[in-house]
Amino acid sequence: MKLLVANLGSTSFKYRLLELAGSDVRELAKGGYERVTDHDDAINQALGALADQGLVRSAADLDGVAFKTVFGGELTGCVLADESVEKALLANADLAPAHNPPYAAGLRSFRERLPEVPRVALFETAFYQWVPDYARRYAVPESWFEAGIRRYGFHGASHKFVAERSAELLGRHDLAANVRRLYSDGPQTLPGAPVRVISCHLGGSSSVTAICDGVAWGTSMGLSPQSGLPQNNRVGDLDSAAVPAAVRRLGLTIEEAERQLTKESGLDGLSGVSNDLRDIKAAADAGNARAQRAIDAFIHAIRHWVGAFWFELGGCDALVFTGGIGENNPWLRAGVCAGLADLGLYLDPDLNASGPAEAPLTTFDSRTQVFVIPANEELVVAREAARLLSTLTPST
């Protein structure tokens, strides 16, 4: 089965063309465009490049297009992306303004260009379908909950891949197989001690998720991708009284307050330097106190959620770092893991600084393993899309 995985950002378009045969996955092509102002044009360029390479010359050369859609409200899971999905994305664009409109536009573009090719949407919220009800609730009136004001969780494809891969690294291949089938079979009970993983997806957008036996138990993100840890330019967690207070004291409109919280906050607002952690770290190393404070606040927020989930899970077998920031910054991993010896985590400084990906970064006597697992969201999206499409295609 040949699938095109489309990843649309507010100003970017990236793609991977994958061929799946059973459990084997082969990458045929990949590419992308930054500073995109017209997603239709970017998609045309991508399809043109694939045609020039002789990989996708017509709809007959493609079995499906898969999307890592972010937020559809009550619509979640892995579904055929018809026009109702486009409408759900736009209906919830107020809570995911940087993500939903580009994906709706991308779905429409592929529908118009390749109407014969099935489109599949795997929602980022899908991994959190089995989070306990109490962990999905805010302490708000029931009418608010019924109106959809609850914790949904995001980065589901990334955290699901961590759940599967960490199980393999811990020697639990039976659990890894269960995780791979999670969306089709649901949670399965296995004999033996539970496997407790805390997954830190750290990048331009960041979140921490608690995972027990491959199933999400809780997440730092809530109603929207604006919540949880400080994001690159989005606020993260904020006291509910802050918005009306800022409106009164600064003379802001609700719309301007929302714009500042989603465009000028997060690491950008804290540091006053940039929304890119590389720039912030360089400024901090040069003596910029505000940049250093932004780094300290970011690490503090990560440790806050790691600590909360450590207690919730009753321990931690593996602490995993993924995403661009988590994978490429040993100094940040060291900051998150500092002072945890009493909990049985002993980070090895040399391994943390230069150890290979997916190898333990801890000393031999550490009860908790620390791993760097490179993100592979496209693989999860492709597998789930292939599974769904295979159920729709009669076997011969």
Annotated binding site for ATP: 14, 276-278, 324-328
Cα 236 to Cα 338: distance, rounded to the nearest angstrom: 23
Q: CA dihedral defined by 354, 355, 356, 361, rounded to 10 degrees?
A: -140
Encoded tokens for 130? 């089995």
DSSP-derived secondary structure for 45-69: HHHHHHHHTTS-SSGGG-SEEEE--
Assess contact for 102 and 42: CB atoms under 8 A: no
List, in order, residues 6 or more apart from 242 with CB less than 8 Å away.
Answer: none
The whole-angstrom distance between residue 327's C-alpha and the CA centroid of its chain comes to 14
Cα 118 to Cα 313: distance, rounded to the nearest angstrom: 40
Annotated binding residues, written as ranges, equal: 7, 14, 276-278, 324-328, 377
Instruction: With H, G, I as helix, E, B as strand and everything else as coil, classify residue 241.
Output: coil
* Cα three-residue angle 219-94-117, rounded to 5 degrees: 85
Assess contact for 197 and 163: CB atoms under 8 A: yes
The whole-angstrom distance between residue 262's C-alpha and the CA centroid of its chain comes to 18
Annotated binding residues for Mg(2+), written as ranges, equal: 7, 377
Beta bridge partners of 67: 6, 121
Task: Please name which of 54, 64, 51 lies closest in space to residue 116, comparing C-alpha atoms.
Answer: 64
CB atoms within 10 A of CB 2: 16
List, in order, residues 6 or more apart from 254 with CB less than 8 Å away.
Answer: 243, 247
Judging by DSSP bridges, how do beta strands 215-219 and 207-212 pair with one another?
A: antiparallel
Beta bridge partners of 19: 2, 26
